Amino acid sequence: MAVFLTSLFYSLYHVLSIVPIFERPWNIVLVLPVFAAGLFWGWMRLRHASLTGSVLSHSFADAGIMCVYFLYLSLPCADKAQPGPSAPVQMLDPQVFREMLL
């Protein structure tokens, strides 16, 4: 029961970062893997009586998310300004990015 509640609160915390970025229903759908990851890491903690595996696994997950994010930033976009000291970068439309991933 403790792992379930911890995973629930872990998911609720991540809702704060997911909801402003994605539109409905994506913001709700993307919280489900976060909940599943919380359950998995809680199970790992109970099974091995150590946080090491959970911390390493979470680090790898974060690294994967950052790789996808950097890939997103590197995609060519017709309306993207050339990066420079005073030129803001206009990012690719999130809907187009989602369609490319699916």
Nearest Cα to Cα of residue 92 among 67, 64, 70, 66: 70
For residue range 34-81, list pLDDT tens digits in order: 999 999 999 999 999 999 999 999 999 999 988 888 887 777 664 544
Q: Are 47 and 54 in contact (CB under 8 A)?
A: no
> What is the pTM for the complete model shown?
0.64
Nearest CA to 94 among 1, 23, 33?
A: 23
C-alpha span between 31 and 58 (Å, rounded): 15
Instruction: Select from 90, 32, 83 the least CA-distant residue to 12.
Output: 32
